[in-house]
Structure formats: structure tokens, C-alpha cells
Amino acid sequence: MQGFSSFLGLLYLAMLVLAVVALVMALLFRDDAYRAASKQNKGFWLIILGIAVAVNLLIPMLFLQLAGLVATIVFFVDVRPALRQVSGGGFGRKGGSSSDGPYGPYNGGR
């Protein structure tokens, strides 16, 4: 039983880390990017992900933690890619297409 307990501890820690990372990413995107991507506003996602972090830290109920995990996964799978597309590729990139090479856009040999 002790091995199962340590496995659950690692699972809880992983859910907490994912929720914290999603919360930080939600903080880094601009508010207008959420509107441009036709997603809920920034405040909504900050509240939802903040609740997910708080539940993971304070309330050891698996059902509530799984609800927070679902919100975190939705942010990573649906919201974050849309925000990155609207924002021009993310935090560190300065725009450009995914087909851009080091010397300009790749046009397939045309």
C-alpha cells in the first residue's frame, strides 16, 4: 500500500505543477489576445486556474482535483494554441510563419 500512496503523491504533485504552469502562462498572455482568439477573457481563466491551484494545495479531494485537471488540460489543448496563434507564435518568438527558415520563408522550391 505504501507504493500506491507514493504514486498518488506524485500524481497530486504533477497535477499541482501543471495547474501552476497553466496559471503562469495565462498571466503572460495579453488580455486582447483572449478576445482575438474568441476565448473566455483573461480574468475567467485566471480565476479557474487559480481555483485549480488552490484546490490542489488545500483540499485533498480527488474529485475536485480532477475538475481542476480538466480545466488545466482544456487551457493547454484549446486556449493556449489559439492564443499563441493570435499572438504570433508565443512568448519568445517575434512573429513569422512556421515555414520560415533562417534566411526567410521556405516556398517549396518555387
Write out pLDDT tens, residues 26-70: 999 999 999 999 899 999 999 999 999 999 999 878 888 999 999
**Top-confidence residue, 3 or 41:** 41
Residue 16 CB coordination number (10 Å):
19
- pLDDT number for residue 100: 60
- pLDDT number for residue 92: 43
- pLDDT number for residue 29: 92
What 8-state DSSP symbol labels residue 77? I
**Top-confidence residue, 11 or 49:** 49
Alpha helix locations (H) across the chain?
A: 2-28, 31-36, 42-58, 62-74, 80-87
- pLDDT number for residue 88: 76
